[in-house]
Structure 1
C-alpha cells in the first residue's frame, strides 16, 4: 500500500479524508481536503445530502484559506442541504470559490438558478 506522502504532489501540505458512517452500509460519501499554501481543494465523491453536506462544508473550512476549490465532479447526488452548504462557502469566500460540478450537480444548480454564478466553473 502506498504511503500518504506518495499520493499527493510534494508541494501539498496535507490531505484529510472524511467519510460518513452510514450504519454499516457501504460508504457513499467522502471528502478529501488538499492544502497548497492558501489554496484549499476539497474533492467530494458520492452523495451530498442532509447527512453529508455539513461534513463537506467543514472539510472546506477546516484549514485557513484564501482560495477554495470544491471539486464535485464525482458527486452523484446533490440536494438542497448541499446547495445551502455551497452558498455558505460562496458567501464566506466571495470571488475566491470555484465549484467544479458533475453533470448531476450542474443540473441541480441550473434548476435552482445558481448555475450562472461566477463561482461555478463553465461546462
Structure 2
C-alpha cells in the first residue's frame, strides 16, 4: 500500500461539564495528530480531563509524549480510558501502572 496516498483517519471531539473536559478520540494518533489530541484536551478553564481512547487504532511515540504532557498539566485529574492497542503500547513503554490509566475490566 502506498502510504503517501493513504488518508489518516483521526477525530477528537470535546464536551465539557463544569471545568472537566471529556475528549473522545478515534483513529490514529501519531506525529501528525498528537498535537490535535493535546489541543482538544487543553481548552481554557479546563481543570481535569477524561481522555477516551477506546476507538484509537494506532498510538505512537508522539501520542505517548502528548499523553505525558497532559498528565503533567492535569496532575491528579487526568483519566485515560485506553483501547486494547493503546493499553499495549502503554504497557510496552512502561506506563501501564500510571494512576491516570483506567484499568481494563
- TM-score of the pair, normalised by structure 1: 0.78
**CA positional deviation for 1:66:** 1.6
Deviations 1:15-38 (A, max 9, x none): xxxxxxxx9865510000001101
Deviations 1:75-120 (A, max 9, x none): 0000000000000000000000000000000000000000100000
Where 2:11 maps in the other structure, the secondary structure is: strand
Greater relative CO (CA pairs within 8 A, separation 6+)? 2
Determine the structure 1 residue equivalent to 2:37. 56
Where 2:41 maps in the other structure, the secondary structure is: helix
- TM-score of the pair, normalised by structure 2: 0.91
Structure 1 Cα separation of the partners of residues 19 and 43 of structure 2 = 12
Structure 2 Cα separation of the partners of residues 55 and 24 of structure 1 = 21
1:78 alignment partner, one of 46, 52, 59 = 59
Segments of 4+ moved more than 2 angstroms: 23-27
Query: Could you say if the C-alpha distance between residues 27 and 79 of structure 1 is closer, same or farther in structure 2, counting changes exceeding 3 Å?
Result: closer
> Superposition RMSD on alpha carbons, in Å?
1.5
Tell whether 2:101 aligns with 1:120. Answer: yes
Query: Could you say if the C-alpha distance between residues 27 and 50 of structure 1 is closer, same or farther in structure 2, counting changes exceeding 3 Å?
Result: closer
Where structure 2 has 5 or more consecutive residues not aligned to the other structure, the ranges are none
